[in-house]
Amino acid sequence: MKNESPLVAKGKTLGIIGAGVMGRTLLRGLLDSGLITKSQAWGTAKTESSCETAARELGVPVELEYEHRLKNTGMLLICVKPAQAAKVMAHLRESGLPKDTLMVSIMAGLTRAQLEDLLGTANPWIRAMPNTPCIVREGMTVICAGTHASDAQMNRAQRVFQAVGLCQQVDEMYFNAITALSGSGPAYQYLIMESFADAGVRVGLPRHLALTLVAQTAVGAARMVQASGRHPASLRDDVTTPAGCTIGGLLMLEDGKIRSVLARAIEEATKIAGSLGEPKRS
């Protein structure tokens, strides 16, 4: 990717508003991958202690007072909770945010139209939905462009998230479903893995061994799907011998309605994702 333009232009910086779990993860990914240098990065959080923790961890300025940095900020990642969005946007608007700063939001539930409306400027916006495996650079992120974002700016945002995993451009109409499937997805996978580990203990395995087996089996199966490009049902058939133990276990899972239980979970989470950007009743 040597001939790609720099992520932020010479003399410009990249800022993180909300140096929490996701904000710090994204900044670490950008620094580790060499997409930006330490001198190009800065961040802020709500409390002094969070600023200190992030600054120590990342080796870049993370401070309560950041307004003086805005004039040179080429890209700003908004990583606060959705409930903080209105306050943060009002503050940015009043603090001299340049009109050409590329804004990237990872806030769940806030649409492009809401983001543009909250900031009330013509800044280009990109809406993203990452997930926590970005921490180990195995994240899944989707992005879509706001009204004023160009293809080149989408490309820059995509490179941010590719530093911590896969990133795909999608239509915003899919965001609620994606929030459920890959945003909340790790939590569902953890529950499934925990259940399998318990099952291992039930049939006599030490817990740490059971968890090692379960986690690596999940990694391996996921890699098989990605590497082969084959349908999971076809891969499943490969390991299902006639009258063997796998078909016996599969039938028990089907008896427990595993498919509809998982589908209903995603259906419910999708519905809730659609209501996250709505004003909260007190």
Ligand X SMILES: NC(=O)c1ccc[n+]([C@@H]2O[C@H](COP(=O)([O-])OP(=O)(O)OC[C@H]3O[C@@H](n4cnc5c(N)ncnc54)[C@H](OP(=O)(O)O)[C@@H]3O)[C@@H](O)[C@H]2O)c1
- The site for ligand X (CB under 6 A) is made up of 17-23, 44-47, 50, 79-82, 84, 87-88, 106-108, 129-132, 183
Residue in this structure with the two tokens 């009204």, named with its chain if needed: 147
Alpha helices in 5-99 (DSSP H): 21-32, 48-58, 85-94
202 is written with which tokens?
A: 């039930």
Which tokens is 209 given? 């061994």
How many other C-beta atoms are found inside a 10 Å radius of the C-beta of residue 220?
9
Tell me how far, at minimum, the Cβ of 279 lies from ligand X, in Å.
Answer: 16
> Residue 45 or residue 210: which is nearer to ligand X going by CB?
45
The Cα–Cα gap between 282 and 277 comes to: 15
Task: Using alpha carbons only, give the angle 162, 167, 172 rounded to the nearest 5 degrees.
Answer: 145
Nearer to ligand X, 82 or 274 (CB): 82
Which one, 23 or 124, has the nearer CB to ligand X? 23
Q: How far is the CB of 98 from ligand X (least distance, A)?
A: 19
CB of 139 vs ligand X, minimal distance in Å: 9
Q: Longest C-alpha distance within the chain, in Å?
A: 70
As a whole number of angstroms, the distance between CA 166 and CA 180 comes to 17
Smallest gap from Cβ 219 to ligand X, in A, equals 19
Nearer to ligand X, 88 or 269 (CB): 88
Q: Is the dihedral of CA 91, 9, 117, 166 positive or negative?
A: negative
Q: Residue 48's CB: how many other CB atoms inside 10 A?
A: 10
Identity of the residue, 81 or 230, whose beta carbon is nearer to ligand X in the bound complex: 81
Written as six digits, the tokens of 239 are: 């390991």
Q: How far is the CB of 150 from ligand X (least distance, A)?
A: 24
> Which single residue brings its beta carbon nearest to ligand X?
20
Q: Whose Cβ is closer to ligand X: residue 124's or residue 139's?
A: 139
Q: Minimum distance between the CB of residue 52 and ligand X, rounded to whole angstroms?
A: 10
**Minimal distance, residue 109 CB to ligand X, in Å:** 7
d(CA 111, CA 127): 7
Question: In the complex with ligand X, which residue's Cβ is closer, 8 or 76?
Answer: 76
Quote the CA–CA distance of 59 and 61 in Å, as a whole number: 7
- What is the 8-class DSSP label of residue 4? S
